[in-house]
Amino acid sequence: MIIQLYNGCFHTIVPTQTMRPEAVLNNDINLETIRALIADDMAEVDQLIKQRLQSEVVLINQLGHYIISNGGKRLRPILVLLSAHACNYNGRQHIDLAGIIELIHTATLIHDDVVDASEMRRGKETANTIWGNEASVLVGDFLYSRAFEMMVDVGQMRIMEIMAHSTNVIAEGEVMQLLNCNDADTTVERYLHVIHCKTAKLFESAARLGAVLARRPQQDEQALADYGKHLGTAFQLIDDTLDYSASSAQQIGKNIGDDLAEGKPTMPLLYAMTQGNDKQRLILRQAIENGGLEHIDEVISAIESTDALTYTARAAQLEADKAATAIQTLPASPHKDAMIALTQFAVHRSY
């Protein structure tokens, strides 16, 4: 069972049964297995990104290629490719859209690191640490504008509409998160709204684009959008738990409590504040309001004693179940199975 917040109160509910392919039930499928299904497409996407990053400005080439080549799971372009194949799309524009999605995502990462004054991402120095905030912001802007140039080349107004709206919503989410920083009175509803805008929206758009390209009925487009929204929410909730795991911190190339250091009230903190004793609530409130890691051991103790990480992981699983259920009406295919498997990777990953 899981306690979930609705209308300001916590209620006990039973998670839905996850609809998973046999491979997932046997734990035989992972991200590399999914990548192998679309390996040729991903190779073309990587090549396209390298081509479209070219600029006569040397700094743009250096900084852009540094960020793009720094690894990452490439989940958002993977979603574009899988959804296109799951909808039986036979053209080539899914390659362009996957590249566009990755450029937009990369631009948001660059801007995030500047806003958060981050020094490490994926185990390497951030672009702003090497080249400074000014150059990083401007190159992030370049990636955004290059992505929209590529959208014009695709030549579909519906796609322009989806992506223009998505980037606007993402920007709103960034601002809302900034307003929530150091605010210990942030509600779960406000927090969830931020991650729906800041993280889940791009997942939603990536999954939706496959149906748009294949000219599938509105119900299929909405089903894929719902899948992406719930998958993105699950992904971010697990990210929140990984912020308090030493082994995970090493794998994802960041430090324990980075979110806490920035005064971000994430789900584990918010839940622990509702379930902890008076002393724990005071410590958590001060930690959020002041930022920093002065009381990190006490914060982690409060999180562990209230089972906040378990609660957050279960909330993520519930979102993953909703994502898997959303696309059950799509035709059977290996790509649909991979999308369902991806929901389980999102919640069982350690990086």
User: pLDDT tens digit string along 116-147?
Assistant: 888 777 678 888 888 989 999 999 999 999 99
pLDDT at residue 254, as a whole number: 54
**Cβ of 290: how many Cβ atoms within 10 Å?**
12
Mean pLDDT of 200-208: 98
Q: What is the CATH number of the domain that holds 276?
A: 1.10.600.10
**pLDDT, tens only, 251-269:** 544 567 788 888 899 999 9
**Cβ of 12: how many Cβ atoms within 10 Å?**
8
Cβ–Cβ < 8 Å for 63, 139: yes
pLDDT(3) > 50: no
CA separation for the pair 119, 31 (Å, rounded): 27
317 pLDDT band, cuts 50/70/90, is: very high
Position 238 in a domain: yes
Strand, coil or helix: what is 57?
coil
CA separation for the pair 165, 196 (Å, rounded): 14
Strand, coil or helix: what is 52?
helix
Residues pairing with 12 in the sheet:
3
pLDDT at residue 247, as a whole number: 52
Strand, coil or helix: what is 2?
strand
What pTM value is reported for the model?
0.89
Return the ∠ at Cα 315 (arms to 107 and 237), rounded to 5°.
20
Domain extent at residue 162: 17-337
Position 308 in a domain: yes
Q: What share of the chain is helix, strand, coil (3-state, %, to 5)?
A: 70, 5, 25
pLDDT at residue 20, as a whole number: 40
Mean pLDDT of 9-18: 41
Position 342 in a domain: no
pLDDT at residue 204, as a whole number: 98
**pLDDT, tens only, 266-284:** 999 999 999 999 999 999 9
pLDDT at residue 255, as a whole number: 65
Mean pLDDT of 59-67: 85
Closest CA to 66 of 135, 150, 127: 127
Instruction: Identify the helix (H) or strand (E) that includes residue 3.
Output: strand 2-6
Closest CA to 331 of 234, 233, 232, 210: 210
pLDDT at residue 22, as a whole number: 37
pLDDT at residue 262, as a whole number: 87
Position 350 in a domain: no
Position 348 in a domain: no
Position 102 in a domain: yes
Domain count across the chain: 1
**pLDDT, tens only, 224-250:** 999 999 999 999 999 999 988 755 445
5 — phi, psi (to 5°)?
Answer: -90, 125
Position 3 in a domain: no
Closest CA to 344 of 327, 321, 325: 321
Position 155 in a domain: yes
